[in-house]
Structure 1
Amino acid sequence: MRILIVEDDPAIAAAIGGALEHSGHAVDRIDDGSLADHALKDGNYDLAILDLGLPGLDGREVLARLRRRGTGLPVLVITAREGLNERVGVLDIGADDYLVKPFALAEFEARVRALLRRAASGGVPEIRIGRLRLNLPGRMAWIEDRPLALTPREFGLIEALASRPNRVTSRAQLTEALCNWDEEMTPNGLDIAMHRLRRKLAGSGARVRTVRGLGYLLEEGEDE
């Protein structure tokens, strides 16, 4: 999934960003509140990690503007501000969770998984298409009870498709979901990953259908 980290401490941003990338997520980093506000208007993210004490624009205002736009994007606030009134106020503005620095990386990762699980599946622990079973937050897949081995890029593809049920996902959306700002993916690279994913889905009762001129659709069925 695609995650935005808004944190002006380089060490913290590097630590949590590295952990998320190691789990297979695409991660963008911003260290300024005003830039974050613009990114959240234009970007297509699955989760935002938001510090409060930011240059440019305070994190509370970034969050308030996000919610005024009617966006339901999950937001995990990470901050050194630990007073009860501060926590209550930020949750009331619209944060989904709140973590006080310093925190254990394992707890951070668990909270991220919980928020992504809620957002991706609407509370449903697994997505099932044909005989294919997907656990998006856990980044696991099975064909019936047999584990399906997918590379991070292959899982990123099926994750992007499964997160948009019954809707076409364009090539641009797939590329955005798979790459950080500082990475590039060639059209050939996307085609190779798609070809390998389709091969691994053989016999699963799920297929990736090409909708000519529009993109791709994950649906029940077998490739011809």
Structure 2
Amino acid sequence: MAKRAQRRADGLSRELIVKAATELLDAGGEAALTLRAITDRLSTGYGAIYHHVENKGDLLAAATDEVVAGVMTGVVVDAEPRQALRAVALGLFDAIDAHPWVGAQLSREPWRPALLEVYERVGGLLHALGVPERSIFDAAGALVNYVLGVAGQNAANARLLASGEADRAVVLSTAAARWARLDPDRYPFVHKAATRLREHDDREQFLAGVDIFLAGIAALR
């Protein structure tokens, strides 16, 4: 048994550890990611893990970097800038939906390579779109904050629904019924939006918001 564990440790790599960490995070969230769980999953010892990562925080950050790098790699480099920006935004939305812990980590450590890559790609695409240099910083910040904020909230809602504490259709139907009962003179917009609230698709609404941002950014040229 000891020799088998030693051979496993000898073949260990940072990539393998990060992959195992991602699987643990997807299955149980940040609470599931412990060094003990990693060693059990990889049949190795703490020393072999510490040879590649400093601690749990380093491992969580590395897993986040890997997920975001996958999104950036999936965007066609020579695509039309507006379409590429939509692809980056939607890629991040889907990635955070699939890996809810990513959104929290990006907010916690904005200096990490993952978020720097997002800003670099968005800033470059805004430049290619013809946004004036004086406006790129604000435009990139507004767009990235929208993407991460909505994606993070969507992931949080998905976790709540997955826990069995609520059902999306029931939640939306209940909220829409309350909106519909409001005084239409005092809340004309909310009253009219009740039907759309019940039927809306989160992903489509997110992308509509991205298009609104891009339309506003286009006016800066």
TM over 0.5: no
TM-score class, shorter-chain normalisation, is: under 0.3
TM-score calculated relative to the size of structure 2: 0.24
Find the structure with the greater CA-based Rg.
Answer: 2
Greater relative contact order (Cα 8 A, min sep 6): structure 1 or 2? 2
Higher helix share: 2
Higher strand share: 1
TM-score calculated relative to the size of structure 1: 0.24
